[in-house]
């Protein structure tokens, strides 16, 4: 069985991730296969819409397959990572800007690269099992794959909270934060997909469940009060509170990469509520293109994935404005979207 199944059924282009034992982690080849399919279907009148789903119960896509990134980066080859991120971000832009409807069905874990594939499309479906998060700061990256745009659009300071702490959202909070559109029971998905395939329209999509629990909404006032200012100011504000969420947030901020968190805050500030996908991806790429050589990415992967000692030795404890600016300054070879016009 291949890692991905791409086919046309009825009037619908179908993309199914098929690495359930690896939580459907997205490889470079999988990303490029999706990109090629979308390009082929753009002018194919048979394909009226696209459906993206995944096998297994545990995850739609729990992130990117980063073993090759680590192996090449530790060998001193930073070009492979830059190509990986550049091409993945072009896919994210194509998904967000596609002129035909795309429906994603996202169960279980949806993180990192999974957000990039499933959370920018026109119709985003979740179920009771869905857990969405942007955990990049824990491995020395900033929230990427266009996720910084969604965070920048989230209510109040929720985006800063989610980006810095890597907190997981259930279906209600994911919809409220802008990562999904509607909740539909998983048992109904096969019939809905069959109707989408037959009709080539989104008429078969029900409105979905309302009144879902949104626990983060209950903490919005505290989040808004604490997650403003610099990283150090946020830590100080959190330390003044004794609620569970503030203690958990403070613990996360003490665990994640200070450089990544400080840059993520600056990115959200620059993007703001009106940012588009290309602005977000351009800023993200400025950081990720430098993340191996100048950031904490390789150390973060070592600590979390390779050695699993959960004891990363970050390069910075306090991050200066100059260091933030250096990681976000324009690149000699900026991210190019020329091909993304379909």
CATH code of the domain covering residue 223: 3.90.226.10
Per-residue pLDDT of the chain (342 residues; tens, 9 = 90+): 599 999 999 999 999 999 999 999 999 999 999 999 999 999 999 999 999 999 999 999 999 888 889 999 999 999 999 999 999 999 999 999 999 999 999 999 999 999 999 999 999 999 999 999 999 999 999 999 999 999 999 999 999 999 999 999 999 999 999 999 999 999 999 999 999 999 999 999 999 888 999 999 999 999 999 999 999 999 999 999 989 999 999 999 999 999 999 999 999 999 999 999 999 999 999 999 999 999 999 999 999 989 999 999 999 888 999 999 999 999 999 999 875 434
Half-sphere exposure of 170 (CA within 13 A, CB side): 10
List, in order, residues 6 or more apart from 140 with CB less than 8 Å away: 257, 259, 260, 291, 295, 296, 297, 298, 299, 300, 301, 312, 314
Tell me how far the alpha carbon of residue 215 is from its chain's centroid.
21
Residue 318 domain boundaries: 4-328
Q: Give a yes or no: residue 170 inside a domain.
A: yes
Number of domains forming the structure of the chain: 1
Q: Give a yes or no: residue 334 inside a domain.
A: no
- Whether the full predicted model's pTM is greater than 0.85, yes or no, is yes
Q: Give a yes or no: residue 339 inside a domain.
A: no
Q: Give a yes or no: residue 335 inside a domain.
A: no
12-17 and 4-9: which strand pairing?
antiparallel
Of 217, 260, 254, 261, which is closest to residue 239 (Cα–Cα)? 254
**Contact indicator for 165, 260 with CB cutoff of 8 Å:** no
* Catalytic residue IDs: 64, 113, 136, 144
Rg (CA), the chain: 19
Q: Give a yes or no: residue 58 inside a domain.
A: yes
Q: Give a yes or no: residue 340 inside a domain.
A: no
**Tokens found for residue 62:** 């729990």
Q: Give a yes or no: residue 66 inside a domain.
A: yes
Give the C-alpha separation, 85 to 236, whole Å.
34
**Contact indicator for 150, 273 with CB cutoff of 8 Å:** no
Q: Give a yes or no: residue 196 inside a domain.
A: yes
131-133 and 109-111: which strand pairing?
parallel
């Amino acid at each position: 069985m291949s890692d991905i199944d791409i086919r046309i059924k009825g009037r619908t282009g179908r993309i199914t991730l098929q690495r359930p034992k690896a939580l459907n982690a997205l490889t470079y080849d999988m990303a490029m296969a999706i990109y090629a399919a979308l390009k082929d279907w753009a002018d194919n009148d048979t394909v009226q819409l696209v459906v993206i789903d995944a096998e297994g119960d545990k995850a739609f896509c729990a992130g990117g397959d980063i073993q090759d990134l680590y192996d090449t980066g530790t060998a001193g080859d930073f070009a492979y990572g830059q190509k990986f991120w550049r091409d993945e971000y072009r896919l994210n832009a194509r998904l967000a800007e596609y002129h035909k409807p795309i429906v994603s069905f996202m169960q279980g874990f949806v993180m990192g690269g999974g957000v990039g594939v499933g959370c920018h499309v026109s119709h985003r479906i979740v179920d009771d099992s869905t857990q969405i998060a942007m955990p990049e700061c824990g491995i020395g990256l900033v929230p990427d794959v266009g996720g910084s745009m969604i965070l920048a659009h989230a209510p109040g300071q929720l985006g800063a909270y989610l980006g810095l702490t890597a907190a997981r959202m259930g279906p209600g909070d994911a919809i409220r934060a802008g990562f999904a559109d509607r909740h539909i029971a998983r048992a109904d998905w096969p019939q809905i997909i069959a109707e989408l395939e037959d009709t080539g329209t989104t008429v078969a999509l029900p409105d979905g469940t309302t009144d879902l629990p949104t626990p983060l909404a209950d903490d919005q006032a505290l989040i808004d009060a604490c997650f403003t200012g610099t990283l150090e100011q946020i830590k100080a504000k959190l330390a003044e509170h004794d609620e569970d969420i503030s203690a958990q947030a403070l613990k996360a901020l003490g665990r994640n990469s200070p450089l990544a968190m400080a840059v993520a805050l600056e990115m959200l500030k620059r993007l703001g509520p009106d940012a588009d996908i290309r602005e977000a991806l351009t800023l993200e790429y400025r950081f990720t293109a430098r993340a191996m050589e100048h950031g904490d990415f390789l150390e973060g992967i070592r600590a979390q994935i390779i050695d699993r000692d959960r004891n990363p030795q970050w390069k910075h404890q306090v991050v200066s404005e100059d260091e933030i600016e250096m990681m976000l300054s324009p690149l000699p070879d900026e991210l190019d979207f020329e091909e993304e016009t379909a």
